[in-house]
Each structure stands twice: as structure tokens, then as C-alpha cells.
Structure 1
Amino acid sequence: MSLSVHDLTELLELWEELNLTGGDNHNLSHVETLKCRGAVGHSAFLHVLCVLYVFIFLVGLAANGLVVWVNLRVHRNRYETHLYVLNLAVADLCVVATLPVWVASLLQGGRWPFGESACRLAHLVFSVNLFGSIFFLACMSVDRYVSAARSADAPDSRRKKVARRLICVLVWLLALAASVPDTYFLQAVQSSHRDGAVCRPVYPPDNPREWMAGVQLSFVVLGFALPFPIISVFYLLLAAAIPPSSDRERRASRLIILAYIVVFLVCWLPFHAVLLLDTLALLNVLPFSCRLENFLDVALHLTQCFSLVHCCVNPVLYNLLNRSYRYDLMKAVIFRYSTKTGLARLIDGSSETESSAVDNGVTLGSLLSEQEPQQEPALRIPQGLGAGD
């Protein structure tokens, strides 16, 4: 996503120069510039970024890889909200899998030694999967509320399966379409400040600032301005749709729902706020100063790195906090070879007992579970909710 516009190599280029005239006929970096001294040393800052990205890579690879493995290993004859969780884990896994490429570039001082095809491919994989991750989070919020509000109607399970699979395909196609402007302008161009090429966007020479501003605004809209209201509204509606059960169960469900909203906000708002400031600076809405330029250089990349922590948090929020997933994990890992002893069957029986603890009621597992029970129980929806369905 954003790595393609203000990618990691842009930090080295923009740290030493500021675009004041709008660019020549080739690249934004080949322009009349004004030197601004950075507040942070190149080497120290780049090493901090490398350490952070390596940490995100290791944690995200292990957590999302485990989620994908468990979901593929455990076969359930249940309706398929877990498809969103599986696709979310795949998207996050692919995002973090590209991070070693950026770290390798950073360790070479921002140079891109892999060629132009790899430049485009790496950015495309990153961008498509990052958009896909965000879009699947929005789809899950809508699906969970609709499932809770309409479950009393006992809709056709097969039709719901087909609809969810089509939605997954559409999400990936939309993520690909959203990534096209990001990838189209990428080139491996010769750097004017160091030996070797850098992987960066090269916009049309007549109005490069406007092109960059337009691409960045599309990231803000598609990556935050649209998904966050959808996630917030439908999860808040879901929290309101939880019928009276035990106070403890109701409170726990609402806390998890609130966590979904807060984590997305905390991870993504800082980056998109800084990206919006940078866009305003590109359009000369904000007056130039070296302090602003240095702040944007550092803040863009730090907040972008922090936003990728979401790829590590998603497996915890949408899997480890779910009872069904924990049982599946125990069966797949701890009791993988113990089916003959009856331990796995004992876990299955315990899971079914806890899932039916509240007769026809809405529990944390039934509302927030990615793996729903084989028979869809009639939920007690408050008076008026879903009327006319």
C-alpha cells in the first residue's frame, strides 16, 4: 500500500532534498532543492526500522502461519464465516512475508539491487494483501452483525456459503484494483545521491505533485476513511444486538467488540493522519519548513511500520480469543497423535457442552466465533431488531 508511494527508499532521498519546483521531466528527485538537515542520523534511524520490521516479520509469520495451518487442517461441516478469518490470515501472512525485501534494501543504504520486475512484484504483493487485510476486516464486521440479526430466520446455509465465497473473490479483486495506481508508476531508477538504483514511483512530468497527492488520498480513503466507519458502525450494532444473558458474558462480548474497533483505530489512524499531512504539504496547503519536512520524513515511516503491527494483532483478536479456535489448536498440535486415546474426542465433547451452555442464547462464542455451530440456534434478538427481515 503506502510503501509504494512513500516507500522505505524515499526516506533516504527526501531526507537530503526537498521538492520545491514540481520536478523535471523524469523524477521528483531531480529538481531544484533546498537542503534540510535531518534531526536523526541516517544509519541509526534505518537500523531502528530494520529491527522493527524484523520483529513484525517474525511474529506475524509465526502467528498467521499457525492460523492458516489450523484452519486448513481442521475440517468442519459448519457455515463458513471462518473463510474471512482464513483469508485475513493469508493476507497478513503475505504482507509480512515481503518485509525481508525492504530490510535488505535498507541494509544497502536504500539501494534496490533486485531489478525493476522485482520492484513492481514486491510492491504489488504488499499492496494487494494489505488492502485485502483491511477489506476482510470490514467484511467480517458486516457479516457478523447480519448473521446475528437474521439468524432467527434460519436462512439457507448453502446460499450463505456461496455468498461468502463470492464476497472473498470480490474482496481480492477490489484489493487488486486499489493497488493498480500504486504499482503502475513504480520503476527502478538510478539514484542521484548514491551508486545503484532505487525502487520508487515515477509520475507524469507535467504534474507529478498532483499525481502523488492523488495516489496518497486514494490510500487514505480506501485504507481508512471507508473501512473504519464500516467496522465501527457494524460492531457497535452487533454489541447492541447481544440479548440479555449473564452480565459477565455480555460484558466480555462487548469488550472484545470494542477491542476490534480500538485496535484498528490505534494502528491505522496515526499513519493516515501523517499521510494526509504529507498530501497537504505536496499541494502547498501547508507552508514549507524544514521542521515540517523532517517530521514528515520520520513520522511517515515510523507510523507505517507501527501500522503493520496490526498483522501481528489480528491472529490474537480473531483467533486466540475465540474458544473454538483454541480447541482446534489443541487438537491440531497437542493431541495430534492421540485420537486413539480418546483425548481429541474429549475436547470435542467439552467444546459442544460449553457452546450449548446458554439455551438458545447469544454467547461470546456464538456471536464472535469464526467457527459457528453445526446447527444455527435461534437467537433471542431484542424487540424490533431486524423487524421486517
Structure 2
Amino acid sequence: MSMSASEMEDLLVSWEEFNLSEGFSNISSVDATVCVTAFDRGALFHSMCVLYTFIFVVGLAANALVLWVNVRAQREPGPRPETHVYIAHLAAADLCVCATLPVWVGSLAQGGHWALGEAACKLTHLLFSVNLFGSIFFLACMSVDRYLGVARRGDGEGGARGRRVRRGVCAGVWLLALAASLPDCYFLRTVKAAHGGAVLCRPVYPGDDPVRWMVGVQLSFILLGFALPFPVIAVFYALLARAFSRRPPSAAAACSPALEQERRVSRRVILAYIVVFLGCWGPYHGVLLADALSQLGLVPLSCGLENALYLALHLTQCLSLFHCCFNPILYNFINRNYRYDLMKAFIFKYSTRTGLARLIDASNASDAEYSAVAVENPPQI
């Protein structure tokens, strides 16, 4: 939830007019915007409420299902996919991001008014930001881990040592996500608008050079949220696709049409990983970069650009959160092993005394045979 140029201007206009005596112990006074709004902010906020509600319902249900199935499957004997640890943490991060959306919906429905106090302002932003960064970092970790697994001919770094390494990586990811989130959350304050009586949850940067502070936070978000993870994701998935294409099939599977189809599907799924990440996060970080450049004076800031940036920041921020809905589909629902785990979880729970359970076991046995061939060539993504 970054601060836009127009919101920063609101703070700067009345920077020396702080009012701490109107019943708000930590609330300062902010004037109205400098530029005339060229669009209906009420319509924008209501549209965002609808989009956030959709993301909340779909993302919460999908990621809760993914997390439940993965946790349940880990309790059962037998080998698990190497990336299942990252997938479980990714689902947990996306689930927490979705869980904060009703708070933003409530604020947007009141025209941006924040009624929960400064402590809730900081804690909600921190929960949202930590899990947002965590989700992005786990996607990057999965791309590296999957390529290394194929580069080592599918055996990866298995056993207890491999599990310890991945758990250590997950712990490091959460610590890095926390460190990336702290600067912006530290400066958050409840800010009272001088006109209208609304209370806003906004960062208030030090008075010596607030613009440069804001730009520094924005650039760090761009660096950690996109400029570093996206090349990692794109490069390692490109290497993974090339490894699928170059690896010679075994003699037994050389003429298998099913194997060639599996390779084509795997390459398309890899392309989808890259395109979805770029499509969700690229526009938001592009607009955020334009906003930062305008604050530094490198791009002339007119009222028209001000309005365009304000509108674009809010809309692309909504677009970026759709990754919470896409991740369960891309990394779980299209995976055959996950679909088996999902089907087994429900049918075994409610139909353990029927022949359906034995039918699924037989089906999974044939899938295991097929996966043995696929691991030698392109493994299940």
C-alpha cells in the first residue's frame, strides 16, 4: 500500500500545521489535494472494493484448500515433490494477504477513512507487506529449486539434508520479507485530513527531506519486489524449459506421444509462470517507478500526470493482488499429483468403505509409472 504523489503533496502542503489536540493523540492535520481530481474517486474506491472482495473470496478459498491438502499429504508415507515445502509456504503467504483485504475494503468503502487506530494501521500493513514479499520470494525460490532438480537429473537434494536446506531457505525468506517490510511500516501514522474529518493510514516521513525518504522506500519496494525476483524467475524457468527440450528421452520412451505431449504442456506451464508474474506485478512496479521519478523531478509532474498516476497506482495494485488467485491454479490445481492428493483427501475422508478409494490407488499407480518416465525427461511441474 504505497503512497502516491498526490497523497504526498497533501502532507507537504500542511507539513507545519500538525494538530495533536483534537482528540487524536498521534494524528496530524492534512489539507486537501493540490490538483483538481479529474475522475470520480468514489467510483474508483467502490470498484476497488468489488475487486478486493472477489480476490478475498477466491484467494482465501483456493489457498486454504491448497494448504490443507499439502499439510494432509505430508503426514502420509511416501515421497513428496521437492517443492512441496515452498508451495505450502506460498499458500500460507497468499492466504494471509487475502485475510487482510476486508480491512482495506472497509476503509475504501468509507472513502479511505481509517477507523481502527494507529496500532492496527501498522500491524495490518506489516502483515500484508511481509506476506506479499514472502509470496514473491517463494516463487523465486521454487524456480531455482525446480531447475536444480532437473539439472541433477531429477534426484535433486533429497533426504533429510534436503529438507533441512529447504526449511532453512524458508526461514530466511520470512526474515528477508520482514526486513523489507519494516521501513515503510515504521513511518505509518494515522493522519487527520484538515477538510472532511477523515483519518488516513499513511506514511509520514522525517521532515528534513520527506520526498527522498518516500522515493527511497518506493525504489526499495521495486528492487525487492520485482527488479530482483523477476529476472531470477524468468532465467531459471527459461533454463528449465531448455533442459526439457535438450534432454534426450530414454529408449523406452523415445517414441512415446504421451511423453512429447507432456513436454509441450510443461513448456507452456513454465511460460505461464513467467507471463502471469510479469502481468500481475509489472504494471504496478512500472507505475510506481514513474511516480518515484516524478517526485525526484526527473519527469515533469503536471496535474494531468498526477491524476493518471493516482488512478494507475490504485488499479495496478488491485491487478497485482490477483496473483493470490493465480498461484493456486498454476502451482497446484494443474498438477496431476496435487489433483490426486485433493481427490484422495475428499474421497478417502467420506468414502473410505467404497471401491472409490481402491480405484484412486490404482489410478495413482499408473500415474506413478508415467511420472517415472517423465522424471527422466520433463518431470511434473
Instruction: Compute the TM-score of the two structures, normalised by the length of structure 1.
Output: 0.86
User: Post-superposition shift, 1:196?
Assistant: 4.2
Shift of 1:357: 2.3
**Corresponding residue of 2:312:** 299
Q: Which amino acid letter does the alignment assign opposite residue 40 of structure 2?
A: G
The count of residues paired between Structure 1 and Structure 2 equals 359
Equivalent residue number for residue 37 of structure 2: 38
Of the structure 1 ranges 163-172 and 104-113, higher mean CA displacement relative to structure 2 is found in 104-113
CA offsets per residue over residues 316-341 of structure 1, 9 Å max, x none? 00000000110111111244222232
C-alpha displacement of 1:240:
1.1
Superimposed CA distance per residue, residues 134-187 of structure 1 (whole angstroms, 9 cap, x where no aligned partner): 000000000001111114667551110110111111110110010011110011
**In 1, Cα distance between equivalents of 2:337 and 2:154:** 22
C-alpha separation between the residues in 1 aligned to 2:319 and 2:88?
23
Q: In the TM superposition, what is the alpha-carbon distance from 1:226 to its structure 2 partner?
A: 0.2
- 3-state DSSP class of the match of 1:188? strand
1:132 corresponds to: 134
Q: Are residues 1:72 and 2:71 paired?
A: yes
Counterparts in 2 of 1:199 and 1:21: CA distance versus 1, 3 Å: closer
* Partner AA of 1:87 in structure 2: H
Paired position in structure 2 for 1:99: 101
SS in 2 for 1:200: strand
**What is the CA deviation profile of residues 56-91 of structure 1, one whole-angstrom value per residue up to 9, with x for unaligned ones?**
111101111111111122234324420100100000
Cα distance, 1:337–1:153 mapped onto 2, change above 3 Å: closer
Which residues in structure 2 correspond to 1:139-288 (within 5 Å)? 139-151=141-153, 155-242=157-244, 243-245=247-249, 246-288=259-301
- Determine what percentage of the aligned residue pairs are the same residue: 58
Partners of 1:364 and 1:40 in 2: CA distance: 54
Partner of 1:379: none
Q: CA deviation at 1:233?
A: 0.5
Other structure's SS at 1:350 match: helix
For 2:44, the aligned partner's letter is F
Q: Which residue of 2 aligns with 1:377?
A: none
Distance in 2 between residues matched to 1:112 and 1:267, nearest whole Å = 27
Give the whole-Å Cα distance in 1 for the aligned partners of 2:345 and 2:203. Answer: 45
Quick check: 202-211 or 186-195, which moved more? 186-195
Query: In 2, distance between residues paired with 1:34 and 1:56?
Result: 30
Tell me, in whole angstroms, the C-alpha distance in 2 between the residues paired with 1:163 and 1:130: 23
Determine the C-alpha separation between the residues in 2 that align with 1:275 and 1:289.
16
Letter of the 1:298 counterpart: L
Alignment partner, residue 23 of structure 2: none
Which AA in structure 2 matches 1:293?
Answer: E
Question: Per-residue displacement from partner, 1:66-123 (whole Å, max 9, x unpaired)?
Answer: 1111112223432442010010000001001101001111112211110111000000
Distance 1:249 1:270, change over 3 A: same
The match for 1:49 is 48
Check if 1:349 corresponds to 2:346: no
Question: Quick one: which amino acid aligns to residue 138 of structure 1?
Answer: A
SS in 2 for 1:366: coil
| TM-fit CA distance, 1:348 | 2.6
2:3 to 3, 6, 15: 6
Describe the shift of the 1:364–1:321 C-alpha distance in structure 2 as closer, same or farther (beyond 3 A): farther
Which range moves more in the overlay, 333-342 or 273-282?
333-342
Structure 1 residue 25: Cα displacement: 7.8
The 3 A distance-change label for structure 1 pair 49 and 177 is: same
Would the aligned equivalents of 1:50 and 1:106 in 2 still touch at CA under 8 Å?
yes
Distance in 2 of aligned mates of 1:18 and 1:360: 62
> Aligned to 2:200, what secondary structure does the other structure show?
strand
Are the equivalent residues in 2 in contact too, given 1:67–1:86 (CA < 8 A)? yes
Q: Detail structure 1 runs of 4+ shifted over 3 Å in the superposition.
A: 17-27, 29-35, 151-156, 358-365
Query: Match of 2:191, SS?
Result: strand
SS of the equivalent of 2:205 reads: coil
Q: Which runs of 5+ in 1 are unaligned?
A: 369-389
Q: Per the alignment, do residues 233 and 170 of structure 1 end up closer, same or farther by CA in structure 2, a change over 3 Å counting?
A: same
Distance 1:358 1:105, change over 3 A: closer
What amino acid maps onto 2:266 in structure 1?
S
CA distance in 2, matches of 1:339, 1:34: 64
Q: Distance in 2 between matches of 1:45 and 1:263?
A: 24
RMSD between aligned residues: 2.5
Deviating more after overlay: 149-158 vs 45-54: 149-158
Output the amino acid matched with 1:333.
Answer: F
> Which amino acid in structure 2 is aligned with residue 78 of structure 1?
P
Q: CA deviation at 1:367?
A: 4.0
